[in-house]
Amino acid sequence: MSARYAVIGNPIGHTKSPAIHTAFAQATGQDLTYTAIEGKRGGFAAEIDAFRAAGGMGVNITTPFKLDAFAYADRLKPVAQLAGAVNCLNFADGKAEGENFDGLGLTRDIVANLGVALRGKRILLLGAGGAARGVLLPFLHEQPEELVIVNRTLAKAIAISEQFASHGTIIATGYEALSGERAGQYDVVVNATSASLHHELPPVPASVFRSGALAYELLYGKGLTPFLRLAREAGVTRLADGVGMLVEQAAEAFAWWRGIRPETAGMINKMTVKLT
Ligand code: NDP
């Protein structure tokens, strides 16, 4: 019988994960099925218990269940532990082990796919939600010169910077502090807010970008979002959305489950939409 995997979320109709993992399985010769589960709010644990009872070996987790998955896990990898969120569960040894590959996916996309080194760079991260929390530790591992997290609700950014303090320095600030002496300072600006989902722009000044900067929008497949438009109008020529992050985190999950890492470039190319 084929090994069973799935992604769980709500809503889940938009998910690209079954197509990505099915293509990975074909490319690597792995015998598996990968389906989408529309979970009921408040019903995460029961849904996962049933999936495991039916032979499920691992799941990816998307909105709004990453905290439920964190609570469900018997064991947590360090990135997931610090992020407080799990986007991948592995049931291989009978226990539920939780990991969060969002940050690794993002750093791989920036460094390996886009060819932008993070070491010694000045990084500005917009937002302090689940996705932002997941990318901080992988960013710190790249040893940037400075890592700043800015959030509309400043208290959340401050709490995160304190929580991560033993792993490296993260400067927490509000958007108003990005003008003045912080203008023109950032080599990599990542929009990890959900503002683009509502066609909104976080109140980031167009002056934050350093010459040659990369503007990275976590949301994918939506073309030129308000944030990417702001960057382009500010003269930024390196623009990216989160499609590479999505495919790279999927490849990490696949490798963790199956012990073989699929090639990602073809899938990223296939899923990329023009940023116009
Ligand atoms: P959360 O709901 O956990 O966090 C939302 C964050 O956005 C908060 O920091 C919130 O600030 C901020 N925010 C929302 N609206 C605005 C606004 N108008 N102005 C300024 N800040 C705003 O979301 P996630 O972290 O789960 O997701 C963030 C984004 O990342 C989404 O677009 C999601 O699609 C994308 N994503 C992409 C992935 C990929 O693989 N490419 C993977 C995971 C997420 P406050 O705290 O003040 O409310």
Same domain, 53 and 180: no
Q: Which atom of ligand 1 is least distant from the CA of 200?
A: 18
Q: Which atom of ligand 1 is least distant from the CA of 133?
A: 25
Neighbours of 168 (CB within 10 A): 15
pLDDT single digits (tens) 111-137: 999 999 999 999 999 999 989 999 999
Q: 77 catalytic, yes or no?
A: no
pLDDT computed for residue 201 by the predictor: 98
Same domain, 115 and 150: yes
Q: Which atom of ligand 1 is least distant from the CA of 197?
A: 32
Find the CATH number of the domain harbouring 148: 3.40.50.720
- The predicted model scores a pTM of 0.96
Range of the domain at 8: 3-100+244-271
- Which member of 66, 121, 156, 222 is catalytic? 66
Same domain, 25 and 141: no
Overall number of domains in the chain: 2
pLDDT single digits (tens) 168-198: 999 999 999 999 888 889 999 999 999 999 9
What's the CA angle centered on 97, arms 2 and 165, to 5 degrees?
Answer: 145
Q: Whose CA is nearest to atom 41 of ligand 1?
A: 242
pLDDT computed for residue 184 by the predictor: 87
Cα-to-chain-centroid distance, residue 245:
6
The backbone torsions φ and ψ at residue 108, rounded to the nearest 5 degrees and listed phi first, read -60, -40
Find the CATH number of the domain harbouring 91: 3.40.50.10860
Cα of 245 from ligand 1 centre, angstroms: 15
Cα of 185 from ligand 1 centre, angstroms: 23
pLDDT computed for residue 57 by the predictor: 98
Q: At 162, which amino acid appears?
A: E
Same domain, 108 and 160: yes
Distance CA(118)–CA(121), nearest Å, equals 5
Task: Give yes or no for residue 72 having a pLDDT over 90.
Answer: yes
Let me know if residue 112 belongs to a domain. yes
pLDDT computed for residue 182 by the predictor: 87
Cα of 128 from ligand 1 centre, angstroms: 7
Task: Give yes or no for residue 95 having a pLDDT over 90.
Answer: yes
Distance CA(155)–CA(126), nearest Å, equals 14
Same domain, 110 and 234: yes
Same domain, 63 and 172: no
Within 8 A by CB and 6+ apart from 227, the residues are 126, 191, 195, 196, 201, 202, 204, 215, 217
Ligand 1 lined by 194 (C-beta under 6 Å): yes
Q: What is the mean pLDDT of the chain?
A: 96
Same domain, 237 and 166: yes
Choose the residue to mutate in 135, 152, 230 for probing ligand 1, maximizing ligand atoms within 8 Å of C-beta: 152
Same domain, 177 and 59: no
Q: At 21, which amino acid appears?
A: H
- Do β-strands 186-191 and 209-217 pair in parallel, antiparallel, or remain unpaired? parallel
pLDDT band at 238 (very low <50, low <70, confident <90, very high): very high
Name the 3-class secondary structure at 56.
strand
Let me know if residue 72 belongs to a domain. yes
| Residue pair 134/87 in contact by the 8 Å Cβ criterion | yes
Neighbours of 35 (CB within 10 A): 17
Q: Whose CA is nearest to atom 44 of ligand 1?
A: 131
pLDDT computed for residue 269 by the predictor: 97
Structure tokens at 43: 């019903």
Q: Which atom of ligand 1 is least distant from the CA of 243?
A: 41
Q: Whose CA is nearest to atom 33 of ligand 1?
A: 219
